[in-house]
């Protein structure tokens, strides 16, 4: 029998960082190491499980009740974000956390300080799992993976626990926006599902950003600086000018709640050529469309000023707000709320300022809200997760299964 902590530590030891530069699926072969491990662990527990050519693990637990109830699924992604290394993760386990700063011992002087991260104080007395400061932790979303596997273990070891058909899914490449591009909803077989991919304990989300990427190539003109007057076009400076045209108040650091943003996430260049990459986000579809139009208008201004072809934008939609697809099936939200209450968790329904596989799955016909996995400070060296939050998330899964079987 594996504890949820055992599982989590085993999973974060596998480097599964996805690669946005790759065109393959999964984007990195190393993601398959954990996906194969999960398939084999499910098979060892007696659960039918398959890993397909696209890197999706799908598993099914048959119903043990004599009435027809909806099949419910639980989904988590195995990849970690490209923002920070996920290789050679060295976890720190702090038992009975006392509220003081936690030293991240891999980097001298680096601390997880409640003065900066006050959420820590809500978890005094609990077991806190952190990084050593040299990598991310991988709680996004290996906490969700461990929680689902922990619930599966309970179900197979307790045949008296009554349930309908249960579907399990593990996906690659969520962090680069391609997690369920080739996910076969019909083959998965769930009527409703939940992604275990949220943050703080109690979070429940069925609204997310509409999302797009914008990659703008700036073509400059490089000549000898001694003879550049009237000839040189410095792509670096033009790129800076383009970025300055976008509304400052709509940068991530100035937005919250339902406010969208333009986020400059990459800038590579020389005098001759530069490439700028943005992500564009808004909960409101009309405002989202307007943001994309503003990006195009800024590029048009640059081209009018410096010449046609100076700025070439490629703007691509990534996913949409799942609310319109989930709200007509609000009972899946009600069940999640009741399940949290049964597990002693206070539900907190909020819009997610990001996206999950559940958004794209909802538009594929599988209503799929998002439930907390317990981790905080995702995508960086300050990531941490309380053990008790993972245990509560696993209990919520079991309660949802129970409610669907009623």
Helix (H) or strand (E) holding 239: helix 235-245
Strands ordered across the beta sheet of 192-198: 48-51, 57-61, 166-171, 72-77, 192-198, 370-372, 203-205, 348-349
> What are the residue numbers of the active site?
79, 174
This prediction's pTM: 0.88
Rg over alpha carbons for the chain, rounded to the nearest Å, is 23
Residues 6+ apart with CB under 8 A from 67: none
| Beta strand segments in 172-272, E | 192-198, 203-205, 210-219, 261-269
Question: By the 8 A CB rule, do 166 and 68 touch?
Answer: no
What are residue 143's phi and psi, to 5 degrees? -65, -45
| Beta strand segments in 4-157, E | 48-51, 57-61, 72-77, 92-94, 102-103, 111-112, 128-130
CA distance 36 to 50: 9
Distances (CA, A) of 8 to 129, 139, 389: 10, 8, 13
Residues 6+ apart with CB under 8 A from 341: 347
Question: By the 8 A CB rule, do 388 and 126 touch?
Answer: yes
Distances (CA, A) of 401 to 148, 170, 194: 12, 18, 11
Which is nearest to 192 in space by CA: 351, 314, 3, 326?
A: 326
List the domains of the chain with CATH numbers: 4-207+321-405 (3.40.630.10), 211-319 (3.30.70.360)
The per-residue pLDDT string of the chain (406 residues; one tens digit each, 9 = 90 and over) reads: 579 999 999 999 999 999 988 999 999 999 999 999 999 999 999 999 999 999 999 999 999 999 999 999 999 999 999 999 999 999 999 999 999 999 999 999 999 999 999 999 999 999 999 999 999 999 999 999 999 999 999 999 999 999 999 999 999 999 988 899 999 999 999 999 999 998 999 999 999 999 999 999 999 999 999 999 999 999 999 999 999 999 999 999 999 999 999 999 999 999 999 999 999 999 999 999 999 999 999 999 999 999 999 999 999 998 899 999 999 999 999 999 999 999 999 999 999 887 778 989 999 999 999 999 999 999 999 999 999 999 999 999 999 999 999 9
CA distance 15 to 269: 30
């Amino acid at each position: 029998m594996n504890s949820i902590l055992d599982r989590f530590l085993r999973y974060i030891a596998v480097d599964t960082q996805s690669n946005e530069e790759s065109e393959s699926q999964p984007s990195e072969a190393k993601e398959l190491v954990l996906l194969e491990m999960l398939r084999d662990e499910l098979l060892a527990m007696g659960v039918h499980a398959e890993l397909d050519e696209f890197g999706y693990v799908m598993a099914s637990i048959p119903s043990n009740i004599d009435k027809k109830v909806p099949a419910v699924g639980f989904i988590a992604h195995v990849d970690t974000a490209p923002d920070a290394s996920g290789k050679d993760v060295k976890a720190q386990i702090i038992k009975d956390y006392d509220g003081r700063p936690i030293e991240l011992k891999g980097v001298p002087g680096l601390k997880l300080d409640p003065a900066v991260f006050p959420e820590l104080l809500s978890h005094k007395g609990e077991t806190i799992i952190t990084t050593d400061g040299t990598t991310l932790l991988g709680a996004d979303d290996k906490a969700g993976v461990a929680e689902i596997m922990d619930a599966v273990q309970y179900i197979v070891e307790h045949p008296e626990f009554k349930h309908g058909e249960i579907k399990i899914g593990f996906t690659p490449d969520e962090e680069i926006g391609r997690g369920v591009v080739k996910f076969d909803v019909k083959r998965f077989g769930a009527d409703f599902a939940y992604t275990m991919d949220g943050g703080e304990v109690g979070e429940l989300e069925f609204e997310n950003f509409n999302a797009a990427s914008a990659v703008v190539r700036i073509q400059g003109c490089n000549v000898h600086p001694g003879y550049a007057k009237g000839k040189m076009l410095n792509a670096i400076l033009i790129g800076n000018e383009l970025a300055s045209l976008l509304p400052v108040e709509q940068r991530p650091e100035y937005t919250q709640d339902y406010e969208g943003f333009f986020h400059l996430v990459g800038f590579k260049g020389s005098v001759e050529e530069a490439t700028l990459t943005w992500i564009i986000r808004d909960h409101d579809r009309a405002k989202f469309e307007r943001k994309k139009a503003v990006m195009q208008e800024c590029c048009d201004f640059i081209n009018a000023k410096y010449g046609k072809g100076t700025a070439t934008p490629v703007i691509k939609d990534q996913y949409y707000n799942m609310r319109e697809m989930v709200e007509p099936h609000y009972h899946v939200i009600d069940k999640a709320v009741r399940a949290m209450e049964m597990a002693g968790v206070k539900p907190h329904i909020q819009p997610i300022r990001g996206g999950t596989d559940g958004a794209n799955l909802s538009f594929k016909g599988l209503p799929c809200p998002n439930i907390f996995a317990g981790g905080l400070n995702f995508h960086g060296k300050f990531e941490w997760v309380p053990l008790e939050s993972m245990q509560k998330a696993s209990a919520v899964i079991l309660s949802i299964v129970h409610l669907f079987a009623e």
